[in-house]
């Protein structure tokens, strides 16, 4: 069984604060994770490495244009 936090945003904030990241960094991480989750349209426990690769490829295509 995979642990999936109920409130991913709060989990990310807590971990970032534990690592002493700045507020801007925390906001950026949350934005990027939200963007990725919207891209996949899947729950955390259903995401694969292929989803990550496709997301990164889509980002690199946007930059290349």
Whether the CB-CB separation of 29 and 16 falls below 8 Å is answered with: yes
Residue pair 30/9 in contact (Cβ under 8 Å)? The answer is yes
Give me the residue spans of the domains in the chain.
8-64
Output the pLDDT for position 4: 57
pTM of the model: 0.78
In the numeric block, the tokens 């906001």 are attached to 27
What count of Cα atoms within 13 Å lies in the side-chain half-sphere of residue 39?
A: 18
- The pLDDT value given to residue 61: 85
65 residues of the chain, pLDDT tens digit each: 455 566 889 999 999 999 999 999 999 999 999 999 999 999 888 999 999 999 999 999 877 65
The predicted pLDDT at position 63 comes to: 72
């Amino acid at each position: 069984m995979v642990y999936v936090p109920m409130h991913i945003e709060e989990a990310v904030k807590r971990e970032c604060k534990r690592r002493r990241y700045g507020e801007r960094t925390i906001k950026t991480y949350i934005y990027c994770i939200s963007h990725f989750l919207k891209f996949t349209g899947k729950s955390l426990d259903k995401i694969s490495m292929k989803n990550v690769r496709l997301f990164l490829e889509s980002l690199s295509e946007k930059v290349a244009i």
